[in-house]
Amino acid sequence: MNVNELPIGVFDSGLGGLTAVRELKEILPHENIVYFGDTGRLPYGTRSAETIIKYACDDMNFLLTNSVKAVLIACGTVSSTALGVLKSSFDVPIFGVVEPASAEAVSLTKKKKIAVLATPSTISAKAFDKAIAGIDGSVSVCGIGCPMFVPLVENGYIGEDCFVTKEIVNEYLSKLENFAPDVIILGCTHYPLIKSIISKTACEKFGKTEIVDSGKVSAHALKKYLDQNGMAKTDGEGFTRYYVSDEPHNFGKTASLFLGEQVDNVSKIDMEEYLYKK
């Protein structure tokens, strides 16, 4: 099969990577996409580096059984912790969310103060700090671990008027009051689902604040690569297949809310059975 016809693979620990899928479907409407959400083992953000790397390799191995031509790691935790291992272990173009989001943030900041909201593992890895320093060493970075955001999103607490989510956002952003950033990177692809709450709270606390959606800018980085290398599919209507590692019912229901379309073609995969006991 011509490489152009092969699907794009996307994976995340759960729902968050669908923010990147939505953008891919918008900017690459002809492409077929295979999405895997490791819902049975989330969250990744509080796991050890060794566990994250193991899970990420499992996710990659599953996607490769679908003959994908490129992979977008729509997970800040994996991008921060395991990207180097994955790139050296798998012979397929792999894109994380850290470098594209960091470049976008540096281009937007005027005060040279960038905050990163991400999972505790991502913050500990300091991948965003290193990427930003490599672009502009004069930019200050402050990372805040936000362990409550992923379970809030996964359980549907994403409404703009959700009291619980607003209170937790306020608590996390209060830690940035002395830093006062003018750009905030959403370093986990779950977080754009509560972007409006984060943005409103940030603007109230710090004045005009730009929000960088790491999944969105990474989708554009992948598109640029496919276009430059003649790998993009240029005709036909693309389709997306969804796979999860836990019961798919809640995934389909919640995913439909922010993809803006019905999601009913969701299949459950038993990772241990599928990868190791076939």
Class of domain 3-96+216-276: alpha beta
List the Cα angle 78/82/83 in 5-degree steps.
90
Give me the helices (H) in 29-114, please: 49-64, 76-81, 83-89, 98-108
Q: How far apart are CA 116 and CA 118, in angstroms?
A: 6
Amino acid identity, position 77? T
Q: What is the mean pLDDT of residues 242-248?
A: 89
- What size, in residues, is the chain? 278
Tens-place pLDDT, residues 233-244:
999 999 999 999
CB 139 within 8 A of CB 106: yes
Q: Same fold for the domain at 3-96+216-276 and the one at 98-214?
A: yes
> Using 50, 70 and 90 to split pLDDT, how confident is the model at 153?
confident
Strand intervals (E) in 113-232: 113-118, 140-145, 183-186, 210-213
Q: What is the mean pLDDT of residues 51-55?
A: 95
The dihedral region occupied by 43, where left means phi > 0, alpha psi between -120 and 50, and beta the remainder, is beta
Residue 90 has what pLDDT? 97
Decide if pLDDT at 264 tops 90.
Answer: no
> Using 50, 70 and 90 to split pLDDT, how confident is the model at 277?
low
Q: How far apart are CA 38 and CA 63, in angstroms?
A: 12
Could you state, in order of their start, the residue ranges of all structural domains in the chain?
Answer: 3-96+216-276, 98-214
Q: How far apart are CA 77 and CA 13, in angstroms?
A: 9
Residue 190 has what pLDDT? 86
> Using 50, 70 and 90 to split pLDDT, how confident is the model at 104?
very high
Tens-place pLDDT, residues 65-87:
999 999 999 999 999 999 999 99
Give the DSSP H/E element, type plus range, for residue 31.
none
> Which two tokens mark 124?
């500990």
Query: Global pTM?
Result: 0.90
Q: How far apart are CA 33 and CA 112, in angstroms?
A: 37
CATH of 98-214, one of 3.40.50.1860, 3.40.50.280, 3.30.350.10, 3.30.110.40: 3.40.50.1860
Report CA torsion sign: 68, 131, 215, 121. Answer: positive
Helix/strand/coil for 142: strand
Q: What is the mean pLDDT of residues 153-166?
A: 91
Decide if pLDDT at 251 tops 80.
Answer: no
Q: Which residues contact 162 (CB under 8 A, 6 or more apart)?
A: 197
In this predicted model, which residue has the larger pLDDT, 73 or 153? 73
Residue 217 has what pLDDT? 96
pLDDT > 70 in the chain, percent: 97
Hey, which residues are catalytic here?
A: 75, 188
